[in-house]
Structure 1
């Protein structure tokens, strides 16, 4: 009996010791997420140059050194904001629509506009280089995101077999440029309503997937 007691005690001690780092990692992840969320808000409110790391730390309620610890410097933190804005939800969380081409296109545009609406002005700033200009690392992140969106959109509209075709995906990337401009007119300038943007993008996407892409594929 004493031997079993000692074993149980040792096992409990080991479990307690191994659980402590897990709690610390969770706290660190939460703190990092807190800083990132505050950075999203601040970069959405003001130009990049007008945001200081001291202000970011104050908004997040952390010591300034923690921003350097988790992100490096202000530019590195901004790059994390860019990645956050353009990272798509996991494919497993999406319900791929079925139905006619028009119904799939409608679902695809609604998905795009939901992403824009979720992030608002900071999405417009990030995707239009409004914050730091033509930064090559920002461009690399945005290019990868544009490709990911093009692949996902082809899946949504029922053209999954073309999702990994670089040439056809380029046409969808070009359509993505219209999405960004229309998003700016809607979110920032207020010159278009969401309904108007939805109609415009549906018309263009339907033409792209029912006429343009099939014609390009046939001519190859």
Structure 2
């Protein structure tokens, strides 16, 4: 299936790279790894294929960057949390997560399931790094110590719950967003008040 070329316009290098990445996120989310070529990405972004290679390297390198950007909690999300009490901060981080996964549901689901590349060492490494980073973000949002190994392990477990719950909502449609929000917020608050202090 061919992709219509987007309009060509002159962009600064960072903006062009971000545009190509945005197109790649959409295409890999729609078709998976095997269904997308760098030529498809270039055509949809309105650039020469060589420019895709210049910014990202190989198709696999581009795909790893797509997974990284879809699964990594940016520092700005944590920095932007409100200064309120713990329930307010937990509510904000859960809302942020659900906003992201719903806005980019196909691409996020493809990334978290490795889009047909499960078992690939590089893909598994990028996913594991993203989960570690998300655990750090959870601990920071809760005002806890990300350097504590037990707390970090529990935070990774919470991230696993968040991923599974979001998949239940997005893929199966049995849970509503409000139910997912309540489950994730209540679980994190319970972990912080009753589980983390024991570590």
- For Structure 1 versus Structure 2, the TM-score category normalised by the shorter chain is 0.7 to 0.9
Structure 1 runs (4+) deviating above 3 angstroms are 101-104
2:175 counterpart (192, 195, 216): 192
Query: Is 1:166 the counterpart of 2:149 in the alignment?
Result: yes
Conservation of the 8 A alpha-carbon contact between 2:38 and 2:49? yes
Tell me by how many angstroms 1:34 deviates. 1.9
**Bigger share in helix:** 1
Deviation sequence 1:49-71 (CA, Å, 0-9, x none)? 11122222211112222222222
The reply to whether residue 117 of structure 1 matches residue 102 of structure 2 is yes
TM-score w.r.t. length of structure 1: 0.77
Any stretches of 5+ residues in structure 2 without a counterpart?
1-10
TM-score, scaled to structure 2: 0.84
Equivalences, count:
189
Change (3 A) 1:39 1:73: same
How many angstroms apart in 2 are the aligned matches of 1:34 and 1:104? 32
> Structure 1: which 5+ residue stretches go unaligned?
1-25
1:57-68 equivalences in 2 (<5 Å): 57-68=42-53
Larger Rg: 1
Q: Give the structure 2 partner of residue 42 of structure 1.
A: 27
Matches of 1:27 and 1:106 in 2, distance apart?
Answer: 37
After TM superposition, the structure 1 = structure 2 runs for residues 43-82 of structure 1, keeping only pairs within 5 Å, are 43-82=28-67
Bigger RCO of structures 1 and 2 (CA < 8 A, at least 6 apart): 2
Change (3 A) 1:97 1:138: farther
Q: For 1:53 and 1:144, how far apart are their aligned partners in 2?
A: 25
